[in-house]
């Protein structure tokens, strides 16, 4: 068998499988029902909702035993306006003072938190100086150390 004949056989097999799949897809689509159409959302007027609510209240009252017919339209009486509660000036002052005290405490706390950060920033240059000192070759460092000790030993010998 040559490669060309194998390719032709594979193509024939693929065509046969695709034909079988198309047949199965056709059978499957006939057995399933079409998707139900989505209904639009019902919108009720305020009056309709009120009627339904009144009817439901009436049913609940009936199940509880005491049937109280809900009035269709309750009579609106002119109720006196509710008294507006007012805070005294002294109370307002106490609240304001307490709030200022809280703010001051927060400010102090915030300053305390930021203070250590500033100290760390000041130490940074010292670290770089130490790093620079480490980079000096060992021979120069020992020479500098000898020079520092030599004048001290000469002074002691002179005296």
pLDDT at 62 over 60: yes
Let me know if residue 12 belongs to a domain.
no
Predicted confidence (pLDDT) per residue in 46-59, tens digit: 999 999 999 999 99
Let me know if residue 13 belongs to a domain.
no
Give Cβ neighbours of residue 68 (< 8 Å, ≥ 6 apart). 61
- Interior CA angle at 30 toward 26 and 31, to 5°? 120
pLDDT at 108 over 90: yes
Let me know if residue 147 belongs to a domain.
yes
pLDDT at 143: 65
Looking at the whole model, is its pTM more than 0.85?
no
Let me know if residue 146 belongs to a domain.
yes
What domain count does the chain have?
Answer: 1
Nearest to 50 by CA among 76, 77, 79, 70: 70
Count of Cβ atoms closer than 10 Å to residue 156 Cβ: 8
Whole domain around residue 149: which residue ranges?
89-153
Q: Using an 8 Å Cβ cutoff, are 72 and 54 in contact? A: yes
């Amino acid at each position: 068998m040559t490669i060309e004949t194998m390719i032709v056989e594979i193509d024939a097999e693929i065509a046969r499988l695709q034909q079988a799949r198309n047949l199965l897809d056709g059978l499957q689509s006939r057995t399933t029902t079409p998707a139900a159409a989505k209904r639009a959302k019902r919108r009720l007027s305020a009056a309709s909702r009120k009627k339904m609510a009144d009817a439901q209240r009436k049913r609940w009252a009936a199940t509880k035993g005491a049937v109280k017919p809900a009035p269709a339209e309750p009579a609106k009486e002119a109720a006196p306006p509710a008294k507006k509660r007012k805070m005294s000036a002294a109370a307002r002052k106490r609240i304001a003072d307490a709030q200022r005290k809280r703010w001051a405490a927060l400010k102090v706390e915030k300053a305390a938190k930021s203070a250590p950060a500033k100290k760390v920033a000041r130490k940074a240059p010292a670290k770089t100086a130490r790093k620079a000192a480490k980079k000096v070759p060992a021979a120069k460092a020992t020479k500098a150390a000898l020079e520092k000790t030599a004048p001290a030993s000469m002074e002691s010998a002179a005296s």
